[in-house]
Amino acid sequence: MENINLRFKELRKHLKLSQRAFAVSVGVSHNTIAQVEMKTRNPSSRTISDISRAHNVNEEWLHTGEGEMFKKLDTNVQLMHMVEDLIKDEATDFKKNCIVALSNLPKEDWLRIESFLKEAMDK
């Protein structure tokens, strides 16, 4: 179970979160995260579930190191996260303008874009 401590830290660093921010994101104390990373404590099943839910982490990976770090998201969830990120980030005016422009396209333009992308992916 010791490697779970290393994966905890690896995940936190991948998410670019401090121990304190990571702790807040999953509802545990900063001390809990520090102890897990220092290998003086193992995370509880509840903490693992909370991390999985908060950060879309594959619990199997966290427990064993097998599989991908993150669960695969369906298209709707990916879109939801993208829109949330766009709303939060003030520095993405270009991205926001692109999304607004796309949302205003008539159906025939969407069909042209779809055709273009299919051709591009076939090359």
Q: What is the pTM assigned to this prediction?
A: 0.62
Residues 41 and 15 in one domain: yes
Q: Quick check: helix, strand or coil at residue 82? A: helix
Residue 70 lies in a domain: no
Task: Convert the pLDDT of each residue in 86-115 to its tens digit.
Answer: 777 765 678 788 888 888 999 999 999 999
Residues 60 and 112 in one domain: no
Task: Convert the pLDDT of each residue in 31-45 to its tens digit.
Answer: 999 999 999 999 999
Residues 54 and 94 in one domain: no
pLDDT band at 1 (very low <50, low <70, confident <90, very high): very low
pLDDT at 73: 80
Task: Give mean pLDDT, residues 14-27.
Answer: 94
Q: What distance, in Å, lies between the first and last C-alpha atoms of the chain? A: 46
Residues 57 and 92 in one domain: no
Residues 16 and 57 in one domain: yes
Give the span between the Cα atoms of 63 and 5, in whole angstroms: 9
Residue of 14, 58, 122 whose CA lies nearest to 22: 14
Identity of residue 64: T
Angle at CA of residue 26, ends 2 and 15, nearest 5° = 75
Residues 79 and 116 in one domain: yes
- Asked if the model's pLDDT at residue 2 lies above 60, the reply is no
Whole-angstrom CA distances from 4 to 61, 65, 103, 121 are 9, 8, 43, 39
Domain boundary among 19, 38, 64: 64
Q: Quick check: helix, strand or coil at residue 72? A: coil
Residues 56 and 94 in one domain: no
User: CB atoms < 10 A from the CB of 106, how many?
Assistant: 7
Task: Convert the pLDDT of each residue in 52-88 to its tens digit.
Answer: 989 999 999 999 999 999 998 888 887 887 787 777 7
Residues 60 and 27 in one domain: yes
Domain hosting 14: range is 2-64
Domain boundary among 15, 39, 64: 64
Number of domains in the chain: 2
